[in-house]
Amino acid sequence: MYPIAEDSVRNLAYSFSYAYSDCRAPETYTRTLGRRIASWQCSGSASALFFVDLGGALLVIDLRPRAPQPLTVLAGLDRTIYLAADSVADVTALAGSQRGSPKDIGRRLDRLVHRGLMLRDGDRCLALAIAAGEYQPGPEARASFRRAIRRIGKRVRGGTCIRLSCRLPVEDGGGRVRKRASVERIDS
């Protein structure tokens, strides 16, 4: 391709050096960023953000280092909004499809953004958690999940139970569905 020896071509971009005319030293003002990136890379295998949809409630599991809480339960309109924002969604369109006001939908989104579970840019929003099943947490994230659930739940034979703050439809065995406070076994 080049009319020069192959060894010369391999050495063309071997190294570069730079010097700023104003004598700035990028390593001094990027040091904190570098440390945070290294910390993020080290914690990555134990971190996860995913959800489990129980039908009447969405369990959002946040195992990231700065998560305010490991489990958020979304029900009703909050659940519907979160699932609708699986890809970038428009607040006005969400409000129209959910028969809510853009102001109410915006307040709900802002709470989820504050918890770090969604991103919002003006009228556009995106849910960050990935559906369990599409996403399979690695061994360290699963261990982190079990520890988090054990902290907030109650150990029972065969696993840990957590009491959800919402009422879910539960079949009573006779084919009837009743709403009751749910207790979910979520690990074994």
Q: What is the extent of the structural domain holding 60? A: 46-187
Q: Is residue 29 part of a domain?
A: no
Q: Is residue 32 part of a domain?
A: no
What DSSP string runs through the chain? --SS-HHHHHTTTS------TT---HHHHSHHHHHHHHHHHHHGGG--EEEEE-SSEEEEEE-STT-S-SEEEEEHHHHHHHHHTTS-EEHHHHHHHTT--HHHHHHHHHHHHHTTSEEEETTEEEE--EEBTTB---HHHHHHHHHHHHHHSEEETTEEEEEEEEEEEEE-SSS-EEEEEEEEEEE-
Q: pLDDT confidence of 99, banded at 50, 70, 90? A: confident
Q: Is residue 105 part of a domain?
A: yes
Mean pLDDT over each residue of the chain, to the nearest integer: 81
Q: Find which of 17-26, 60-69, 91-100, 107-116 is predicted with most confidence, using mean pLDDT.
A: 107-116
Q: Is residue 107 part of a domain?
A: yes
Q: Is residue 183 part of a domain?
A: yes
Q: Is residue 1 part of a domain?
A: no
Q: Is residue 114 part of a domain?
A: yes
Task: Read off the pLDDT of residues 155-186 as tens digits, 9 standing for 90 and up.
Answer: 888 888 887 766 655 444 454 544 544 444 45
| Tally of structural domains, the chain | 1
CATH of residue 86's domain is 1.10.10.10
Q: Is residue 31 part of a domain?
A: no
